[in-house]
Amino acid sequence: MQIEVKIFSTLRSSVPGSDRPLLLTLEEETTMGELIELLKIPREKVKFLFVNSRHESPSYPLKDGDHVGIFPPSGGG
């Protein structure tokens, strides 16, 4: 299956080439957690996971054509 992944903010430094969307080919039913491991992003640095603009958990099984967003914690005042 093929998915599109956008990595945001400080997490980009963990994934070379992530300054633009990544098109990845994965095994069917790969979970969001497995994707994070595959991308070598430290789990403790990931706060929000979105698939097709919906918040999802690390156990969510990805499907062909999904659009994924991976975000760090946000701060501000």
pLDDT in tens, 42-56: 999 999 999 999 999
How many domains are contained in the chain? 1
Q: What is the pLDDT of residue 14?
A: 87
Q: What would the pLDDT profile of 15-34 be if each residue is shown by its tens digit?
A: 988 999 999 999 999 999 99
Is the Cβ–Cβ distance between 3 and 26 less than 8 Å?
yes
Residue 60 lies in a domain: yes
Which residue range forms the structural domain that includes residue 20? Answer: 2-71
| Domain-located, residue 26 | yes
What the block records as the tokens of 44 is 């403790």
